[in-house]
Structure 1
């Protein structure tokens, strides 16, 4: 099954956006989830867990800080892979000047549905693109 990016909806949050290209709810018979996450500069998501799914992250572009469980926060950048066992608290924060792009997978799939309950969640229809406002920054 071929799914171009403009054929799937976009989840939008105050920190960035996600396109789930393959998920059990979007692809009949799919048992895992695969998507692209974009975290805007100087933004990140709160620590959370997926009680019934392992997660793998692969950083495509950018740099940031990652937490996994009770371990120390560590730096991540393009080319890094992160495995997050099911039920493990974790977070990602973009420390760079450009968007951080990450491939995310859930095994088994379905954990993405819980994201709909987060504050500020919005979903854009296929083909619609998020628009990000520029902060009002005044030179000193």
Structure 2
């Protein structure tokens, strides 16, 4: 099955956006989730967990800092991967001047549905380009 990101809705938050290319709710028979995450410069998401899913992050472009569990914060950059076991608190922040682009997977899929409950969540219809306003970045 072919999935064109321009034909899919995009989740937007105050820190960036996510387009889910494959997810159980949108692809019949899919048991995992895969999407592209964009974290805007100077932004990031707070620590959270996915109680039922492992997560893998593959950094496509940019640089940032990552936390996983109680371990020390560490830098991430293009070409690196991060594995986050289910139920483990984690966060990602963009420390660079350009968008931090990440491929994220959930196994099993479905953890993406909980993101709809986050503050500031909105969903853009297919074909709508997310915009970002740089404010309060000191």
Query: Structure 2 length normalisation: TM-score?
Result: 0.97
Counterparts of 1:70 and 1:62 in 2: how far apart (Å)? 24
Q: Are 1:106 and 2:127 counterparts?
A: no
Once the two structures are TM-superposed, the CA of residue 30 in structure 1 deviates from its matched residue by 0.3
Aligned residue pairs: how many? 138
Structure with greater Cα Rg:
1
Which residue is 1:5 aligned to? 5
Once the two structures are TM-superposed, the CA of residue 135 in structure 1 deviates from its matched residue by 3.3
Q: Secondary structure at the match of 2:45?
A: coil
Once the two structures are TM-superposed, the CA of residue 7 in structure 1 deviates from its matched residue by 1.1
Residue by residue over 1:77-133, the C-alpha shift from the partner in whole angstroms, topping out at 9 and shown as x without a partner, is 000100000000000000000000000000000000000000000000011111112
**Equivalences for residues 52-63 of structure 1 within 5 A:** 52-63=52-63
Once the two structures are TM-superposed, the CA of residue 136 in structure 1 deviates from its matched residue by 7.6
User: What is the RMSD of the two structures over their aligned residues, measured on CA atoms?
Assistant: 1.3
Counterparts of 1:78 and 1:134 in 2: how far apart (Å)? 23
Contact 2:11 2:123 in 1 (8 A): yes
Counterparts of 1:86 and 1:36 in 2: how far apart (Å)? 19
Query: Where has structure 1 moved over 6 Å in runs of 4 or more?
Result: none
Once the two structures are TM-superposed, the CA of residue 137 in structure 1 deviates from its matched residue by 8.4
Query: Structure 1 stretches of 5 or more lacking a match?
Result: none
